[in-house]
Amino acid sequence: MNTSLLYQAFRRILLSLLLMLAASVLIFAGTQLLPGDVAQSILGQGATPAALANLRTELGLNEPAVARYFHWLTGMLHGDLGHALTNGQDIADALGHRLKNTLFLAGTAAIIAVPLALFLGLLSVLYVGRWPDKLISGLTLATISVPEFLLGYIAMFLLAVRFQLFPSVSTVYDSMSLIDKLHTIALPVLVMVLVVLGHMMRMTRAAILNVLQSAYIETAELKGLRHFTIIARHALPNAIAPIANVVMLNLAYLVVGVVVVEVVFVYPGLGQYLVDHVSKRDVPVVQACGLIFAAVYIGLNMVTDVIALFANPRLRHPK
């Protein structure tokens, strides 16, 4: 394998690790700038000054911010996420269950959205400039323009309240069968698919249309090949790199941007867990959730860069 290629891949991985370190600094600093007193929020307004001072000492709030950051980062690197301030529960155990639910929701949406986006993109290119292309482009543009929470409430009103096809509250349990879980999460999955479908479809369409302007495509047309054959055999394989980029970015969004959807449908995932503890000012939980979201987003972006590096030779020699 080319040494230059390995160097470029290693460089991207190293930059992602540095970006992750910078994200951890921002997350820690952001939680420290939250208004209010952590000890006061835990003990309540009736707490005595002595009790507040003891709790601050117990939580390490009297230590310098730099020392607290490195203590927190060291614990994170060793897998110790700490304990929730509100109930004393081990954060790692709670996050494991919640993260599994979030990945299940995002994974189900991705299984539907990715093939559907590729199909609609190919269909749009096949009928470019005609009514199927205009219809697909118009509908996907409309779904992109509507916020997730509004799509959620519209879907809830139509499919849960008016026609009663799916439950409005998407609460899942471990004891439920796979079919029951899929029926329960139908509405949040629908909303997430509509949110990311337009981005992937439009990028697929744009990438294939860009490739169709190449000289070798004109040669294939002169040979008398059918338009569908040219798209499927010649244009699509050469458009994989930009399509893979936008697919990975939207997969990252499905995991990180799921917070609003989980809150709307009361889904027991990582986003709902984060929002619940933000309102309680449970700083260790907020920090752990923020770091996990950052790691998922940065990690998938790193994978995207490496895939693009291997798929597109021009990126190996940017000069």
The answer to the question of residue 300 being in a domain is yes
Nearby residues of 291 by Cβ (< 8 Å), 6 or more positions away: 23, 24, 27, 76
The answer to whether 166 touches 159, Cβ cutoff 8 Å, is yes
Give the model's pLDDT for residue 2: 65
This prediction has a pTM of 0.84
Tokens of 103: 């990945």
CA distance 55 to 73: 22
The total domain count for the chain is 1
The answer to the question of residue 129 being in a domain is yes
The answer to the question of residue 214 being in a domain is yes
Taking each helix axis from N to C end, the angle separating 131-145 and 91-126, rounded to the nearest 10 degrees, works out to 150
The answer to the question of residue 201 being in a domain is yes
The answer to the question of residue 70 being in a domain is no
Nearby residues of 106 by Cβ (< 8 Å), 6 or more positions away: 192, 251, 254, 255, 258
CA distance 41 to 85: 10
Nearby residues of 230 by Cβ (< 8 Å), 6 or more positions away: 212, 217, 220, 221
For each of the chain's 319 residues, which pLDDT tens digit applies? 567 778 888 888 999 999 999 999 999 988 877 766 677 777 777 777 887 788 777 777 778 888 889 888 898 888 888 888 877 788 888 888 899 999 999 999 999 999 999 999 989 988 988 999 999 999 998 888 899 999 999 999 999 999 999 999 998 988 899 999 999 999 999 999 999 998 899 988 988 888 888 777 778 777 878 877 887 777 777 777 778 778 888 888 888 878 899 999 999 999 889 988 887 778 889 889 999 999 988 998 888 888 777 766 555 555 5
Beta bridge partners of 90: 83
The answer to the question of residue 232 being in a domain is yes
Give the model's pLDDT for residue 311: 65
The answer to the question of residue 63 being in a domain is no
Residue 114's CATH number: 1.10.3720.10
Rg over alpha carbons for the chain, rounded to the nearest Å, is 24
Give the model's pLDDT for residue 182: 95
Handedness of CA 262, 263, 266, 271 (dihedral sign): positive
Tokens of 277: 């503890």
DSSP annotation of 213? T
State the residue range of the domain holding 114: 91-316
The answer to the question of residue 308 being in a domain is yes
Q: How many helices (H) and strands (E) does the chain have?
A: 16, 0
Give the model's pLDDT for residue 257: 79
Give the model's pLDDT for residue 133: 92
Backbone torsions φ then ψ of 278, nearest 5 degrees? -65, -40
Give the model's pLDDT for residue 94: 86
Q: What angle do CA 211, 214, 219 make, to 5 degrees?
A: 120
Handedness of CA 136, 215, 306, 233 (dihedral sign): positive
